[in-house]
Amino acid sequence: MGLDDARAAAGDAIDALWRQVGRIATIGPRSRRARRFHRFGDGSAICFPVTALFGEEYIDVGEHVIIGPYSSLSAGVMPGHVLDHTPVVSIGDRVLIGKGSGIVAHDRVAIGDDVFTGHHVYITDANHGYEDPDTPLGRQFAPSRPVSVGAGSWLGHGTVVLPGAQIGRNVAVGAGSVVTGVLPDFCVAVGNPARIIRRLVPGEGWVKVDEPAGRPPRPSDEPQPAGEG
């Protein structure tokens, strides 16, 4: 066997081993780690490898949920943080969270049934403050503000959902959008901050939303600091 053949064989073996490791290390309903969760539904999986995972006792995972590899899922500021209620994170049934995504909750993040996301989506109810000029911003915390994502919604690749965001049912959020406020049921939103460009109107179907020039800014348009990392 030549050097190239040996390298090819080694590559195939490493690839097969890595895939086998992924299957074994994925967290499923019968995994020991799944027992730490407040609830971990049948048919669900948190794929290997996981970037960060703590506060499982405050997290509900529904049935047939898939959370992609290299994702983060946490409840609380740090491992061992004792919270005063549960669940802090709730994920409904048949949810798909894309690879490399992060869900960080200090108070309440609720994701409804049948929500799908692209890769590298970030959802958080926590933020850093900036009021004290003598304290590094990383050590300042703003009050947490609950976040919800309604059933049947889609969050495109790289979407960021910040504290206080309330996304309705069957909402499509375009890739790279930053959601800071309220998006009602059955709409399409894009941009930073996310703004509605289409809505479902009974009897008319999906109609384009034209905002009048010079409208006063809405609360959701106000600049927001980056979410808790």
Parse the chain into domains and list their residue ranges. 3-221
**Predicted model pTM:** 0.87
Q: In sequence order, what are the residues at sequence separation of 6 or more whose Cβ sits closer than 8 angstroms to the Cβ of residue 154?
A: 115, 116, 117, 171, 172, 173
Q: Does residue 106 contact residue 128 with C-beta atoms inside 8 Å?
A: no
Task: Write out the DSSP string of 149-171.
Answer: E-TT-EE-TT-EE-TT-EE-TT-
Q: Report how far residue 168's alpha carbon sits from residue 200's, in angstroms, rounded to the nearest whole number.
A: 12
pLDDT tens over the chain, length 229 residues? 688 778 888 888 998 999 999 899 999 999 999 999 999 999 999 999 999 999 999 999 999 999 999 999 999 988 999 999 999 999 999 999 999 999 999 999 999 999 999 999 999 999 998 999 999 998 998 999 999 999 999 999 999 999 999 999 999 999 999 999 999 999 999 999 999 999 999 999 999 997 543 344 444 444 444 455 4
Q: Report how far residue 219's alpha carbon sits from residue 195's, in angstroms, rounded to the nearest whole number.
A: 12
Placement of tokens 């209620």 in the chain: 85
Closest CA to 179 of 159, 198, 199, 197: 159
Superfamily of domain 3-221: Hexapeptide repeat proteins (2.160.10.10)
* Residue of 38, 119, 128, 157 marked catalytic: 128
Active site (annotated) includes residue 120: no
